[in-house]
Amino acid sequence: MPRADRTTKKPLDTVVKFALTVFVGSFALIWGGMYLSRPDRSIPPYTVGSQAGHFVATYVPRDTQDEQIERLLKRFRKVGHKTRDFGPMKIYPTTAGDPGGRYRQIVIYVFDDHLKTDPEVLAKYLEGDAAVIKDYIQSMRGYYRLQDQDEEGGTGPMPHNGNMSNDTRILFSGLVTDPLPVEDEPEPDMSISPL
C-alpha cells in the first residue's frame, strides 16, 4: 500500500523558469560576444601612439619577436594590396580628401618603446631635430612605407636619407599592383576562450 504522506514533485514555477532562462542566456550572450570580439592573434598586439599627416608611430610590447613584427608588416602590406583601407588597423586617413584615396601615402614606424610614439617626439623627428633623429631611427623595430603605388617594408630602422643601417632587413619592396607571394598563414587560433 502506498504511503499517504508521500509528496509529489511540483513543477517549477513560471517565474523561476524565466529567471533560470535569463541567467543561462546572459552567460551565453557574454561568452558569444567575447568570442566574436576576440583579438587577432596572428599578428602581435600593437597600438597607434601618434599620427602626424601620413606618418604613423606604433608600438608593440617589448618582448615582441622579429618574426611577429614581420607578420605585422606583412599584414600592412596585405591591406595595402587588397583594400588600401587602414581604418580597421586603427589608423586615421592619412590623405583625407585626396582624390587618389584616403591612404594614398602612409609611413608606419614600429617601436617597442611607447615613449618613441609620443606626438611631441614624432613631431621633433619630422622637423629634423638632430637630437631626436639618431635615437629615433635606431629604436625602430620595423617600418612600412606606401607612396602611391610603391611600397616597402622591413625590420629594423627605416633607411634615412639614402643610408641603410646594418640592422635593417628589407622584407619586400615593389608595387602594390604586384601579386602577393603565397605564404603560409599562421595556424588559426581555434581556442574557444576569448582570452
Taking the domains of the chain in order of start, what are their residue ranges? Answer: 10-39, 47-175
Q: Where are the alpha helices (DSSP H) in the chain?
A: 14-36, 66-82, 119-127, 130-139
24, pLDDT greater than 70 = yes
Q: What is the pTM of this model?
A: 0.75
91, pLDDT greater than 90 = yes
Contact 171, 153 (CB under 8 A): yes
Range 33-37 average pLDDT = 75
For 159-179, how does the pLDDT look when each residue is reduced to its tens digit (9 = 90+)? 877 778 888 999 999 998 888
Pairing of strands 150-155, 169-175: antiparallel
Name all contacts of 172-181 with Cβ < 8 Å and 24+ positions apart: 172/74, 172/77, 174/150, 175/149, 175/150, 175/151, 176/80, 176/81, 176/84, 176/146, 176/149, 176/150, 176/151, 177/149, 180/77, 180/78, 180/81
185 or 24, which is more confident? 24
Contact 154, 168 (CB under 8 A): yes
